[in-house]
């Protein structure tokens, strides 16, 4: 069972996250000091801007350059993407290439605009027809949008997973409803969504400390176990 950061922009020079190998190495050191074993490298993917093959090639180059320096240091990286929702994506070829490597897990970023019924239906098809294990990225960032409230409720009825940013557990005012979601099984995983060092930094440890203090060690262990099984980490393949 591993401590997993489910959301990061740790790969250098590929999106608005880390700018250099040096910055990434500092971020990896910070994550390592917080006990992170595995980081999902979820660089932004926008279908409107990127062709999948170009994205994959850039990601591969960034990863290989990093590995020349990183070697075995710090958390293990698993390549993936934070895939921005787009109309028609439930019928798009090659979405499989954007899952977290070794799994059918798709980290999906919903739009920061009013959602439509057809958008929600597409998410449902990604789950039920395409058999992706969808993780909704930082769902809490949409919870302040009243127009999407009913759609969020519909999403929470589906067999998918919800990732919350560690940062959102640090302010006492926002923390309460999120802790309730974790308790009810409506939120499942934590990510740092780290982009750099000075701000939006690797902070998974702080978020985990809040979860452990409020919900207990057994809860954290169960979360780590579920995450490890979902991503088939440590030879554990039962989901
Ligand atoms: Fe992100």
Does 234 have pLDDT greater than 90? no
Q: Is 165 part of any domain?
A: yes
Q: Read off the pLDDT band of 236 (50, 70, 90).
A: low
- Cα distance between residue 100 and residue 73, in whole Å: 21
Cα 149 from chain centre: 21
Domain count, the chain: 1
Nearest to 36 by CA among 197, 207, 175, 167: 207
In tens, the pLDDT along 42-80 reads: 999 999 999 999 999 999 999 999 999 999 999 999 999
Find the 140 Cα to ligand 1 centroid distance in Å: 13
Q: Is 237 part of any domain?
A: no
CB atoms within 10 A of CB 159: 9
In tens, the pLDDT along 104-136 reads: 999 999 999 999 999 999 999 999 999 999 999
Find the 118 Cα to ligand 1 centroid distance in Å: 24
Q: Is 239 part of any domain?
A: no
Find the 44 Cα to ligand 1 centroid distance in Å: 7
Nearest to 18 by CA among 190, 191, 197: 197
CATH number, domain of 56, equals 3.20.20.140
- Which structural domain, as residue segments, surrounds residue 206? 4-232
Query: What's the chain's average pLDDT?
Result: 96
Does 147 have pLDDT greater than 70? yes
Q: Is 138 part of any domain?
A: yes
Find the 171 Cα to ligand 1 centroid distance in Å: 19
Q: Is 238 part of any domain?
A: no
């Amino acid at each position: 069972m591993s401590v997993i950061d489910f959301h990061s922009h740790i790969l250098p020079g590929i999106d608005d996250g880390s700018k250099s190998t040096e910055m990434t190495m500092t971020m990896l050191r910070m994550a390592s000091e917080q006990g992170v074993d595995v980081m999902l490298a979820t660089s932004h993917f926008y279908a409107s801007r990127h062709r999948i093959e170009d994205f994959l090639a850039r990601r591969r180059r960034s990863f290989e350059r990093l590995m020349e320096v990183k070697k075995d240091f710090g958390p293990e990286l698993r390549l993936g993407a934070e895939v921005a929702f787009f109309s028609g994506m439930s019928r798009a070829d090659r979405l499989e290439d954007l899952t977290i490597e070794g799994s059918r897990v798709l980290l999906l970023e919903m739009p920061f605009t009013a959602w439509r019924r057809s958008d929600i239906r597409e998410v449902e098809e990604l789950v039920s027809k395409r058999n992706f294990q969808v993780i909704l990225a930082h769902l809490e960032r949409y919870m302040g949008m009243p127009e999407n409230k009913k759609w969020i409720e519909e999403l929470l009825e589906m067999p998918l997973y919800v990732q919350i940013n560690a940062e959102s557990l640090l302010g006492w005012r926002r923390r309460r409803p999120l802790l309730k979601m974790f308790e009810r099984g409506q939120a499942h995983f934590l990510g740092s969504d780290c982009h750099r060092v000075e701000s939006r930094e690797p902070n998974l440890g702080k978020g985990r400390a809040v979860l452990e203090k409020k919900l207990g060690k057994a809860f954290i262990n169960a979360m780590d176990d579920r995450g490890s099984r979902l991503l088939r980490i440590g030879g554990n393949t039962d989901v």
